[in-house]
Chains A and B, each alone.
Chain A
Amino acid sequence: MKRFLLAAAFFAILALLWEIAYRAKIWSPVLLPSPGQVVTYLEGAVADGTLAKATVITMRRLLVGYLVGVIVGLPLGLLTARWKVFGDTIGTLALGLQTLPSVCWVPLALLWFGQTEAAMLFVVVMGTLWSVIIATETGVRNVPPIYRRAALTMGSKRLHMWFKVILPAALPFIVSGMKQGWAFAWRSLMAAEIFVTILTGFGLGQLLHYGRELSAMEQVIGIMIVIVVIGLLADKIFFSPIEKFLHRRWGTSQA
């Protein structure tokens, strides 16, 4: 409770400083709207459904692309860790492409798929896939050999070994890879939505883009806040509990 109050006070002070900066008229009100104006915009966007619609569209793109990335990436990561052939080929490819900022996929996706949902999906998958492959591979390679040996003596082999020993043992690595993949996917999707107008649906990135076009700064800031909040919520709702569980089990938590 005390921590919550402290955090709340911190954000209240941030808003207050913002209001003071607005009232001091350091910048033109066009460039820096007041917090109140941003709230008014957000209320309006909530009331007329724009915000909900855009959020749903963006989240659908993100989740579908992310799931595809994870579902394809996990087995590929296992393959690269298990067989040298895959490690030398797919592993090297993944390592190389992971260094490529995922926004760099946007021009290619546009030329290949045009202004379609497929282009969006492609960008998100490319953002997720390589991190997941590499994290899975690293995780599997870092499983202490003693676990395998112990499991072998107890009669574990093949699929049982993979699902009951190697995968769980590699879980901390895999989860951090999934988290990184999520961050990359989120960034690349935002970039794609800002660059690309797609007639099949307006996402948050597009709202941001039109905010700029219309010089509607309260919209730009409002949407940015929404994007930040979504990122925070994803972390708190999805990743945090998993990480807490891992820390508790493995005993790796500091607190």
Chain B
Amino acid sequence: MRRAVVRSSATQELEVILPSKLAIENVSKNFQSASGPVLALDRVSLNVAEGEFVCLVGASGCGKTTLLNIIAGLEKPDSGTVLADGKPVTGPGRERLVMFQEPALFPWLDVFGNVLFGLRLKPNLTNKDRRDVAKYYLELVGLSRFEHANIHELSGGMKQRVSLARALAPNPRVLLMDEPFAALDALTREQLYGDIQEIWKARRKTIVFVTHNVREAACLGDRVLLFSPHPGRVQAEFMVDLPRPRDINSVDLAAHATRITKALKSVGHAETNAAK
């Protein structure tokens, strides 16, 4: 009913021309620490377009994970708004799934059960559909053979692949990734860079990817946002227009990474100087 009302009004026109999948406006967040309140995010604004791959880079503790949690709806901002598809985010939702840094897989379920978990919560599917979809995503991340494996039997890289399959399975339009590859060895990480680009292309997701690794950001993102800490702010923005799939070791990519690293260092220096 409500949708019909909206359609007949001018609001629809406004919605149609809204280009952003995610619109973050003036979001601020404080934390209580032992030494008093810390401003984790200071009036952060950013827009993410449909199908865009945005990387947030910054030193540890610059508030990028907090921002990701706020977009996910797991935390509430002290002020400011987050709009997803033009609607305010009030809590977690299937449309915006999170892949955490540590694999948050459920040890009481096997691999297949984990991938199925989110699907079971999705209405309007038959159980056969759910199983087929789960199988498809396990195949996509190359773990079909490990369907019935227990979680503790998997390597770190395999766990993150299962996490990825679990996050993808309910077909969210936005994928929020919080340093998902930080704990993996270089070789596994490089494989996953390839995988994630392929999946992003095949499934046309909007991805917000948090990392402290500049090369990783340059390899994956259409756009790289540089965060400065204390208080957390968006300091600079870089477009990365290299063709895909990108190789993390390519020279062109290194040039981009160097540019971002320089900016990152200057942010660090500014902060050190300010502290003096």
Residues of A within 8 A of B (CB): 146-147, 149-156, 160, 164-165, 168-169, 171, 248-251
Contact = CB atoms under 8 A, between A and B. Distances in A.
A166 to B, nearest CB: 11
B163 to A, nearest CB: 9
Interface in B112-132: 117-118, 121-122
Given A150-B98, A160-B121, A248-B150, A155 B93 contact: yes
Contact of A251 (B72, B74, B150): B150
B161 to A, nearest CB: 16
A150 B100 contact: yes
A249 B92 contact: no
Given A150-B100, A249-B150, A155 B118 contact: yes
Nearest to B96: A153
22 contacts: A146-B100, A146-B104, A147-B106, A149-B100, A150-B104, A151-B117, A153-B92, A153-B96, A153-B97, A153-B98, A154-B94, A154-B117, A154-B118, A154-B166, A156-B117, A156-B121, A171-B108, A249-B108, A250-B107, A250-B108, A251-B107, A251-B153
B106 A153 contact: no
Contacts of B152: 249-251
B102 interface: yes
Interface in B150-205: 150-153, 166, 170
A244 to B, nearest CB: 13
B109 to A, nearest CB: 8
A154 B98 CA distance: 9
Contacts of B109: 168
B104 A147 contact: yes
A251 B109 CA distance: 12
B108 A168 contact: yes
Nearest to B114: A150
Contacts of A249: 107-108, 110, 150-152
A-B CB proximity, top 10 nearest: A251-B152, A154-B118, A150-B104, A168-B108, A155-B121, A152-B92, A146-B104, A153-B92, A155-B94, A153-B98
A249 B122 CA distance: 26
A90 to B, nearest CB: 26
A215 to B, nearest CB: 53
Nearest to B153: A251
> Which of A153, A164, A168, A169 is packed against the most chain B CB atoms within 10 Å?
A153
A169 B109 CA distance: 10
Contacts of B122: 155
B63 to A, nearest CB: 18
Contacts of B170: 154-155
Contacts of A152: 74, 91-92
Contacts of B153: 251
A154 B100 contact: no
A171 B166 CA distance: 22
Contacts of A165: 106
